[in-house]
Amino acid sequence: MELPLLPLRGVLVYPSMVVPLEIGRKKSLNALEQAMLGDHSLVFIAQKDTRQDDPGEDDLYRVGVVAEVKQVLKMPTGGSKVVVEGRARCRVLEVSDHGEILHAEVEEVPETSVMSDEIEALMHTLVDLFEVYVKNSRKMPGEAVVSLNIDDPGRLCDTIVANLELRTREKQEVLEAFDVTDRMNRVSDILSRQIELLEIEKRISGRVRRQMEHTQKEYYLREQLKAIHRELGESDDGEGEIDELRQRLEAMENLDQSIHEKIDREIRRLSRMSPTSAEAVVVRTYLEWLLDLPWTRMSEVQGSLAEAEAILEADHFGLEPVKERILEYLAVQSLSTELKSPILCLVGPPGVGKTSLARSIARATGRQFVRVSLGGVRDEAEIRGHRRTYVGAMPGRIIQGIRQAGTKNPLFLLDEVDKMAADFRGDPAAALLEVLDPEQNQHFSDHYIELPFDLSDVMFITTANLLHLIPRPLLDRMETIAIPGYTEEEKLRIAERYLWPRQQRRHGLGEGQVRLGRPALRRVIAEYTREAGVRQLERELGAICRKAAREIVEAKRTRIRVTNQNLKRYLGKPQVYHPAAEEQGEIGVVTGLAVTDSGGDIMAVEVSTMPGKGRLTLTGKLGDVMQESARAGFSYIRSHRDHLRIAEGFDETTDLHIHVPEGAIPKDGPSAGIAMATAMVSALSGRIVRADLAMTGEITLRGRVLPVGGIKEKILAAHRAGIREVIVPEKNRQDLDDLPQNVRRQVRINLVQHLDDVLGRAFETERAIE
């Protein structure tokens, strides 16, 4: 049978399959035309090489398909679209080229298939395999399987292969498999291989996808986020911010390379993050800190001592020894930058001018001033910061202070170093030591900042209320300067010269609008304040100013005089209870002297006797040391009963009760030793203690008197309370040098070595009850 021949490139037509084709080659179009003139039959034979444009006999396979043209659609380009249906496989016997058209002499090969169990089983396998293939292949629509509802095994094979993406050679092999079982086996092999390929493909693409996902997912999300922001009118997409951070970084001069790199790294990290993510917030805060810290910024320190002196003088009344020490300190500092001088520690009660002195030093040396209170700090992290992994982490107080100062060489006041406490979270004092140590503080590391910050240009000054509460290792690093408190006279001067004018200014009062008479001022000091410093005094003066300002505005008065008589109108009734000296001497009551947080104070020690068995009771919140001190005195008295003129056998008939009033305030320390012993002797021997006398001193078991601290504060307190005479240990003699002249004149001071000396002065001999 000779038929017009149409060579196929890439596609194959199988029997009983309807296939659309595009025909463009001239010879093919001619073959089509001729077929249409006849019974629409032609033969399709695949080319071996698809690139061959004008194939001859040798370029064609030897097996083809006889097909029928169902439809022809002529294209405007000259080609045609046809729909053909394959009819049967055929062997090609001869191909003849007639110049404008190809013909082939072919012989149809009929399908011979006999159903058998084997074939049926193979058919099931093929359908199953094909289903797997379709499921795994993304290119195949699921419906492809439905079209497999075929009960002819040969056709089943052809349909499957027609649906697969195979090389022409493979397709041709299936076409050439005339035996159905053979064909089925081939197709089954092909399917298995295809499935395997699909799986490999899937694995690879999975891997690629995972990688892509990682980088691209974020990118897409961020793009989406940007779009959302734009929709919401929040135009800032984070880029402006990154630019600004970069500019700030570049504006920082002489920055250490490693710091620059670190900041740069963090900025790059931030730029990769979504601007609103929680992590970005953390990084941004961190960057703010790094960019705000004055890594290299310094203020110009001025070293003129004369100027410093002038400033200290102008800002503060009195305090001569303190100012002297400060000037010496500054002199040493300006002489040598190498020799690191110790840290200054100003010790004294509140309101004596520690902070304002430090402020003056800052002004005098041209440094920025920062103040950080360490009161109540019990966690090392408060000094050194929290690691950034903590939620809400922050740098410690040192770095916070430095940022606030804005320069790396400020005057840094560490307030209340005596009020720090150590607990399980680490010892803040140890961290502070590192801050203050010139060897280590060049590379101070804050847990939050993570980069070493150079603190060696900082001038640290510390303050404390009580010397003995400062942690020992810290104390060793520091040079202490005591500011014990002011006498009434001194307070008067400070008030007149500094506090009163300042309060007037602060309350907007013109000069001379409100006059405060000196007697009235004295009264404010004596009756409205009870303190070693002048803080409360300043508050009271402020209160006067407020009241006076109101009167001026409301009552339209132009001038006001605050006098002794009308003082109550401004300040109300005196608020302060003053434990003044007792009016009359009593048995068993001795005035002791104590140092508290707010300076020196007088304190009554009371002893009463009652029938009993020589027991000693102590009340009034006395600490261990104070109780031991009382027992030491009691033992001394028992062993020297005779000599102290105390009745024999008292320790079998009498109990003693020692009480120190104002019981809510805890008291401790050995310095009430002689006061308690004297009160006990008085109570046991019935002798009256002089009312105008106060005493302080530690006592030993043998009655010797040991030195105690805070002598100046105590004597000032005694003076304030109207005491005429004090007893202090001989060993405290050199402490008396600091006392103001008028106090020395008005208070008689007895230096003693032994309890006998104390008792010799303590009693009112003439009124003694025998």
Is residue 351 involved in binding ligand ADP (CB under 6 A)? yes
Is residue 354 involved in binding ligand ADP (CB under 6 A)? yes
Choose between 348 and 673: whose C-beta lies nearer to ligand ADP. 348
CB of 577 to ligand ADP, least distance (A): 22
Site string for ligand ADP, 613-632 (x = CB under 6 A): --------------------
Is residue 352 involved in binding ligand ADP (CB under 6 A)? yes
Stretch of residues binding ligand ADP (CB under 6 A), selected from 288-296, 316-324, 588-596, 697-705 = 316-324
Which tokens belong to 192?
């298995």
CA 582/CA 37 separation, integer angstroms = 146
Choose between 359 and 731: whose C-beta lies nearer to ligand ADP. 359
Residues 245, 267: contact at Cβ < 8 Å? yes
Catalytic annotation present for 714: yes
Is residue 353 involved in binding ligand ADP (CB under 6 A)? yes
**Residues, the chain:** 770
Catalytic annotation present for 171: no
Stretch of residues binding ligand ADP (CB under 6 A), selected from 115-123, 317-325, 662-670, 747-755 = 317-325
Choose between 46 and 481: whose C-beta lies nearer to ligand ADP. 481
Residues 245, 270: contact at Cβ < 8 Å? yes
CB of 463 to ligand ADP, least distance (A): 6
CB of 436 to ligand ADP, least distance (A): 19
The sign one gets for the Cα dihedral 327, 333, 334, 335 is: positive
Is residue 316 involved in binding ligand ADP (CB under 6 A)? yes
Choose between 410 and 533: whose C-beta lies nearer to ligand ADP. 533
CB of 319 to ligand ADP, least distance (A): 5
Choose between 354 and 408: whose C-beta lies nearer to ligand ADP. 354
Specify burial of residue 491 (Cβ count, 10 A radius: 0-12, 13-18, 19+): buried
CB of 359 to ligand ADP, least distance (A): 8
Is residue 539 involved in binding ligand ADP (CB under 6 A)? no
CA 227/CA 74 separation, integer angstroms = 49
Is residue 356 involved in binding ligand ADP (CB under 6 A)? yes
Strand positions, DSSP E, 148-266: none
CB of 601 to ligand ADP, least distance (A): 17
CA 661/CA 314 separation, integer angstroms = 42
Residues 280, 245: contact at Cβ < 8 Å? no
Tokens 């002196």, located at residue:
309
Choose between 264 and 489: whose C-beta lies nearer to ligand ADP. 489
Is residue 485 involved in binding ligand ADP (CB under 6 A)? no
Is residue 374 involved in binding ligand ADP (CB under 6 A)? no
Residues 36, 57: contact at Cβ < 8 Å? no
Specify burial of residue 558 (Cβ count, 10 A radius: 0-12, 13-18, 19+): exposed
CB of 357 to ligand ADP, least distance (A): 7
CB of 693 to ligand ADP, least distance (A): 31
Cα torsion through 84, 88, 89, 94, rounded to 10 = -80
Choose between 428 and 533: whose C-beta lies nearer to ligand ADP. 533
Q: What share of the chain is helix, strand, coil (3-state, %, to 5)?
A: 45, 20, 35
CB of 325 to ligand ADP, least distance (A): 14
CB atoms within 10 A of CB 614: 14
The full DSSP string for 92-148 is EEEEEE-SS-EEEEEEEE-------HHHHHHHHHHHHHHHHHHHH-SSS-GGGGGGG
Site string for ligand ADP, 331-350 (x = CB under 6 A): -----------------x-x
Is residue 317 involved in binding ligand ADP (CB under 6 A)? yes
CB of 595 to ligand ADP, least distance (A): 15
Is residue 538 involved in binding ligand ADP (CB under 6 A)? yes
Catalytic residue among 671, 682, 685, 712: 671
Quick one: three-class SS letters along 429-496? HHHHHHHHCCCCHHHEECCCCCCEECCCCCEEEEEECCHHHCCHHHHHHEEEEECCCCCHHHHHHHHH
Q: Which of 175, 263, 319, 694 binds ligand ADP (CB under 6 A)?
A: 319
Residue type, 5: L
Q: State which residue has the least CB distance to ligand ADP.
A: 353
Is residue 445 involved in binding ligand ADP (CB under 6 A)? no
Choose between 538 and 586: whose C-beta lies nearer to ligand ADP. 538
Kindly report the CA angle at 764 between 766 and 685, in degrees rounded to 5? 100
Choose between 365 and 732: whose C-beta lies nearer to ligand ADP. 365
Is residue 355 involved in binding ligand ADP (CB under 6 A)? yes
Q: Pick out residues in 515-534 that bind ligand ADP (CB under 6 A).
A: 533-534
Closest residue by Cα to residue 626 from 659, 586, 652, 662: 659
Is residue 494 involved in binding ligand ADP (CB under 6 A)? yes
Catalytic residue among 171, 408, 419, 714: 714
Choose between 485 and 633: whose C-beta lies nearer to ligand ADP. 485
The sign one gets for the Cα dihedral 398, 399, 402, 403 is: negative
Is residue 498 involved in binding ligand ADP (CB under 6 A)? yes
Cα torsion through 377, 379, 382, 384, rounded to 10 = 130
Per CB under 6 A, residues contacting ligand ADP are 316-319, 348, 350-356, 494, 498, 533-535, 538
Residues annotated as catalytic are 671, 714
